Amino acid sequence: MDANIASKSAENKGKTIYVSLVKRLLDIFLSAIGIVVLAVPMVVLAFIIRVSSRGPVLLRQRRFGQNGTFFYLLKFRSLKCEAPADVPTHQLKNPEQYYFRGSRLLREFSLDELPQLFNIFLGHMSVVGPRPALWNQEDLIAEREKYGANGVKPGLTGWAQINGRDELAIPEKACLDGEYVAKASFLFDCKCVFLTVGKVLKREGVVDGEQKETKEQV
């Protein structure tokens, strides 16, 4: 019994060190590399947005961060300025009315999320973690609280993203976020990143409002 307790204690200590220290160092390192390597592609995307639609290239959205804090998430604008603010795209009615040339490219391959590398570098986010909820998504925030998922930094990608993303109901999404918190480790984070690449290349899980209504009616 004592051996089991000692083993469990060592495991918990190792997890704490990873989450509190090693994970942050990896976030800084990986986001810095990403910013440098993807600088030119991001400039190209900014140019495409600028010539395709009037309005700012970047959006700043108030999001729910770690332990009840808020921060401003950066992303490339992928819809026209007339689109309702602070509404998840999968909840919009007829979202295609807000598309401009280049919207599908940005959204289907998650290229609009690239500026969040700066959020990661600055410490607002992590590479892997629950996706940051909008400030007004009280139902999702409340569900995540049940699983302790509000106590970790939100991520660029996460376990719920890999397992359904916009297709998931809020209770299911929160449960998967809680599962990530319970399993968080270097190897599990590597698994999440690896699986995310495959999901993005296959364009899986991105569901806009009209598409979601159709899927639910089937």
The owner of tokens 């495409």 is 48
pLDDT confidence of residue 5: 52
Distances (CA, A) of 51 to 48, 100, 102, 212: 5, 10, 10, 30
pLDDT confidence of residue 13: 67
pLDDT confidence of residue 216: 40
| Rounded distance between C-alpha atoms, residue 124 and residue 198, angstroms | 25
pLDDT confidence of residue 199: 85
| Rounded distance between C-alpha atoms, residue 85 and residue 30, angstroms | 30
Rg (CA), the chain: 18
DSSP code per residue over 73-120: EEEE--S-TTSPTT--GGGSSSGGGG--TTHHHHHHTTGGGTTHHHHH
| Rounded distance between C-alpha atoms, residue 136 and residue 138, angstroms | 5
Query: Structure pTM?
Result: 0.84
pLDDT confidence of residue 6: 46
What is the residue-level pLDDT of the chain in tens, covering all 218 positions? Answer: 565 554 555 556 667 789 888 999 999 999 999 999 999 999 999 999 999 999 999 999 999 999 999 999 999 998 988 887 777 777 777 778 889 888 888 988 889 999 999 999 999 999 999 999 999 999 999 999 999 999 999 999 999 989 987 778 999 999 999 999 999 999 999 999 999 998 888 776 566 655 444 444 33
Q: For 168, which DSSP code?
A: S
- Overall number of domains in the chain: 1
Asked if residues 65 and 124 have their Cβ atoms less than 8 Å apart, the reply is yes
Residues 6+ apart with CB under 8 A from 163: 176
> Dihedral of the CA atoms 208, 159, 76, 206 (nearest 10)?
-20
pLDDT confidence of residue 32: 98
Full domain range(s) for residue 146 = 2-217
